[in-house]
Amino acid sequence: MDPRSLQVIVTVLIAVVALSWLAVHVRVAAALVLLAGGVPLAFLPWLHDLRVPPSLILVVVLPALLYWDSLTTSLREIRASLSMVLLNSLGLVLATAWAVAAVGHALGLSWPAAWILGAILAPTDASAIGRVAARLPRRMTTMLRAESVVSDVTALVVFAVAMAVATHQHAFTWTETLSRFAVSFFGGLAAGLAIAWLAVMARKLARDPLLENGINVVAPFAAFLLAEQLHASGVLAVLACGLTFSHVGPRLASGRTRIQARAFWQLTAFLLSGTLFILVGTQLPHAILGTHHYTLHQALVGIVLVAATTVGIRLTWIFTVTYLTRLLDRSPAGRSRRLPPRQVLVLACSGLRGGTSLAMTLVVTVTTVPGRNLIVVVAFGVILLMLLGHGLTLPTVIRHARLPDTDGENQEELIAERAATEAALAALPGAARRLRCPDHVSDLVRTVHEHQLLALHDAHGPPDGTRAVREVEHTAGQRRHHELLGAALLPYKRAALVRLRDEQVIDDIVLRRVQARIDAEELQLEPAEHEE
């Protein structure tokens, strides 16, 4: 490997970690710190003329980030808010792209270049909200994340069409554009589902955590590749593949497999997302120096106008669509899901730009699109301005909204814990007979689960009696039987959780949270299964 390449990788990764640490300690959105922190790195000798290949961003970074988002999204909330999600991720994205393109054209960009700028700034990024998202109710968080993921598909299709026209690869026609969008949508969906099915079959045969997670890592890139070969949307293919895995995963994998996968994708998303912000920051000085036909004043005016347009379109769209939907949907279910105006304002103010916008900006930096540098400067400035503005105002808007607490989510979690514990108690006698456990071992396991169930009904959490039980069990020389019996009960706990999820009693997010605790319990019990 070229030593300079290694210098770049090490420098960027150190910057991601250091700036993320700084963001936590100064209590500022990490996206804002990373984006601004990347600017001075451009003056390092080995980063001064850095150019990132577009294929690296579109084929490696985006699929990984979108796959992690789809794995952690709630399908139940997506289905419940499907009309709003589709209206925002399709209609709002196209409206934003058109409005920004109009402003960009007024600034002097050609229409194809202006549409490139519009496509870059059209999709939202729920993860850019950062720690503030933890204060939002689950329904609002899921709506924002679902909108973010699906809006990427729309924006990337618009971006691809605009880039093809701007670089004179294709002439623009409505027929070709609409047909391309249809092929991208349905072809991407089919490719993602096909790869997901093949990966599920392969994982059933693997039955080994490392092999299963190897398949898990390959799946999103295979889905993206297949979709691209079909001239369809690789982003939608990754989304379909990830959502399929998020639904069937609780039935397939062992606790060790899920823990490995969760840790891998969480770390990967953290590093790749941070790298995107850093790399865009490093490109800003070059873009500013390259804007020969525009003054700094024109660029600043453009940033303010485009940012105001982006925010204004979202505010207008969210409130208009919300109240039109209320007029059209007067069913009891629709009434029960209506949000008060203050909570609608939170949704309207949460449209930050992030990973996908940055990825498209990086692609533009290495093209010959006319007005390229102005596009990069305006896109960077708008993303930075929106992160700064929303970072300062969104916490105040959330406080003003008087959001409901998470009692509903906590209640679902209690229901899930109770059902899992009750399933374990019901299966205990049969499992003890099958494993030929001594009576006093099965009595100890029953006592622990009964105490847990009692505490859950009192909503106080697990009892503080586990250590004493283990001491008695260890002194009696029966630890192996105790752990084997405990491990035998875990499949019944998981089956109870999946059943509640399928019956829509609990949410996917609650299922994953409770299942993570069961997975941790499996790891504690697993070593005893291999003792000689």
State the pLDDT at residue 281: 83
pTM: 0.81
DSSP assignments along 102-168, one per residue: HHHHHTT--HHHHHHHHHHHSS--GGGGGGGGGGS-HHHHHHHHHHHHHHHHHHHHHHHHHHHHHTT
Give yes or no for a contact between 126 and 350, defined as CB atoms under 8 angstroms apart: yes
Residue 512 reports pLDDT greater than 80 = yes
283: Cβ contacts below 8 Å, ≥ 6 apart: 42, 50, 361, 362, 365, 376, 380
**Which residue blocks in 337-406 are alpha helix, DSSP H?**
341-348, 355-365, 372-401
Give Cα separations from 271 to 128, 149, 386 (angstroms).
Answer: 14, 19, 22
**Cα–Cα distance, 429 to 221 (Å, whole number):** 46
Q: Which residue has the tokens 């690789």?
A: 234
Distance of CA 19 to the CA centre of its chain: 21
Q: Fill in the amino acid letter for 449.
A: H
State the pLDDT at residue 134: 62
**Cα–Cα distance, 129 to 4 (Å, whole number):** 34
Residue 454 reports pLDDT greater than 60 = yes
**Burial classification of residue 249, based on how many CB atoms lie within 10 Å of its CB (0-12 exposed, 13-18 middle, 19 or more buried):** buried
Which position has the higher pLDDT, 67 or 81?
A: 67
Give the DSSP H/E element, type plus range, for residue 238: helix 234-252
For residue 468, what pLDDT band results from cuts at 50, 70 and 90?
very low
Give yes or no for a contact between 225 and 271, defined as CB atoms under 8 angstroms apart: no
Q: What is the pLDDT of residues 369-424, one digit of tens each?
A: 888 888 988 998 898 888 887 767 877 888 787 776 655 667 888 999 999 999 99
Number of alpha carbons in the 13 Å side-chain half-sphere of residue 213: 14
State the pLDDT at residue 478: 64
Mean of the pLDDT values across residues 65-80? 81
Residue 67 reports pLDDT greater than 80 = yes
Residue 1 reports pLDDT greater than 90 = no
User: Which range among 282-286, 390-394, 472-476 has the greatest average pLDDT?
Assistant: 282-286
**Cα–Cα distance, 495 to 449 (Å, whole number):** 17
Q: Which two tokens stand for residue 344?
A: 């609608």
**Which residue blocks in 436-478 are alpha helix, DSSP H?**
439-457, 466-475
**Cα–Cα distance, 469 to 479 (Å, whole number):** 10
Q: How many CB atoms lie within 10 A of CB 84?
A: 19
State the pLDDT at residue 164: 83
Q: How many CB atoms lie within 10 A of CB 295?
A: 9
481: Cβ contacts below 8 Å, ≥ 6 apart: 435, 437, 438, 441
Q: What is the pLDDT of residues 202-226, one digit of tens each?
A: 988 887 889 999 999 999 999 999 9
**Burial classification of residue 290, based on how many CB atoms lie within 10 Å of its CB (0-12 exposed, 13-18 middle, 19 or more buried):** middle
State the pLDDT at residue 267: 94
Mean of the pLDDT values across residues 474-487? 71
For residue 2, what pLDDT band results from cuts at 50, 70 and 90?
low
State the pLDDT at residue 467: 39
